[in-house]
Amino acid sequence: MTPLRDARAVAVLGGGQLGRMFVHAAQVAGLRVTVLEPDAASPAGAAADHHVVAPYVDTAALDDLAARCAAATTEFENVPADALRRLAAHCRVSPPAAAVEVCQHRAREKACFAAAGVPCAPHAVIDSEAGLAAAAAATPSLLPGILKTATLGYDGKGQVRVDSAEALAAAWQQLGRAVCVLEKRLPLAHEISVIVARGRDGHTVHLPVQQNLHRDGILAVTQVPAPDVPAATAEKAVARARRLADALDYVGVLCVEFFVLADGSLVANEMAPRPHNSGHYSIDACDQSQFDLQLRTLMGWPLAMPRLHSPAVMLNLLGDLWFDGASPAPREPDWPALLALPGVRLHLYGKAEPRRARKMGHLTVTAASAAEARATALRAAALLGLPPF
């Protein structure tokens, strides 16, 4: 018997923290959420109304979701695009599979930047010995560089810094001779990101520009408003992110990361076809969060321009905070000391096992002024043993 489609049921592919926060936003709006995630103990699965424990490519599970749910989205960048296509045959799906395929592959992503007239880092694609030789010949202009795998990289994984043609060849071996992009290492003054939400009718809204600090390739701190970025640069970043969303005929939430170079110029780094770690502050500091925007675009609800009601600083809480120097056994950080600070909101993702470099949660500090938010966030960082920013 075919199950009855529930107009207030939505599905999300992926069980991580982004899915968990989407579940929360959808439930606020009275929707029922099914999470498809192969891991039985996942952050989103724990929050969802239903958790289907199956691989993303399980066709029976996908068909069952499509039959029950009015709409489906993803929180996981590397979800197989064919899973989205299969769902799209029966229910509303955003983001579109084709856009996800572009964002999943650094070489396609760079080609998309070029086609949309959005500058990105000088680079070369390495997919063969010949490509390696060609890149090595071009190396004077691309070195020092960063060799990045074209697919499946995140949080700085799948990246090797290279300073010479020899190091490049060794790095390509180290990365398993996978398709890679060699990028010139640029003199970054700052990093920023823009989150846009585009509806099926092409109407697009955006969150204010975020300024991001990475440590060891992982986002550490996000500040909004961006303290060091001129308004004209921020406007340019928003215009470029919108242009990319238009070029992809995108529906959903798209995050575009940019570098601001020492000379003030703006270079696109990469795109994520989903809400992004740098947008988490929007839950506490904006009248609509990035997850509310994901929901609105998915459901075809109107998009109103979000407003930042408080300056905010977000600190990522990695598993490292659970380990103090000598002891191999993890222990909880001193949350009560943090919560005693004004304007602190603690988000934990419900992950059972803390591991170094694993995203366990974040905290957002909001305040009446950016200076106050920053001062409190610096105190929070000091309490946690994190470096100042």
Single residue of 17, 269, 288, 289 touching ligand ATP by CB under 6 A: 269
The answer to whether residues 70 and 91 touch, using CB atoms and an 8 Å cutoff, is yes
Q: Where are the alpha helices (DSSP H) in the chain?
A: 17-28, 43-47, 59-68, 81-88, 97-103, 106-115, 129-137, 139-142, 165-174, 231-247, 282-285, 290-299, 335-339, 370-384
Single residue of 23, 79, 136, 186 touching ligand ATP by CB under 6 A: 186
Asked whether position 185 contacts ligand ATP by CB under 6 A, the answer is: yes
The answer to whether residues 102 and 81 touch, using CB atoms and an 8 Å cutoff, is no
Q: Scanning residues 190 to 219, which ones bind ligand ATP (CB under 6 A)?
A: 191, 214, 217
Single residue of 23, 102, 146, 150 touching ligand ATP by CB under 6 A: 146
Using the CB atoms, write b or e for 80-96: b if 16+ within 10 Å: bbebbbbbeebbbbbbb
Asked whether position 243 contacts ligand ATP by CB under 6 A, the answer is: no
Using the CB atoms, write b or e for 56-66: b if 16+ within 10 Å: bebeebbebbb
Asked whether position 270 contacts ligand ATP by CB under 6 A, the answer is: yes
- Token readout for 123 is 């680079």
Least Cα distance to 368 among 315, 325, 310 occurs for: 310
Nearer to ligand ATP, 110 or 296 (CB): 110
Asked whether position 79 contacts ligand ATP by CB under 6 A, the answer is: no
Asked whether position 225 contacts ligand ATP by CB under 6 A, the answer is: no
Asked whether position 156 contacts ligand ATP by CB under 6 A, the answer is: yes
- Closest separation between CB of residue 167 and ligand ATP, Å? 16
Name the segment binding ligand ATP (CB under 6 A); options: 96-104, 184-192, 280-288, 306-314.
184-192
**Whole-angstrom Cα distance, residue 223 to residue 207?**
13
- Closest separation between CB of residue 181 and ligand ATP, Å? 9
Give me the residues that bind ligand ATP (CB under 6 A), please.
Answer: 121, 146, 148, 153-157, 183, 185-186, 188, 191, 214, 217, 257, 269-270
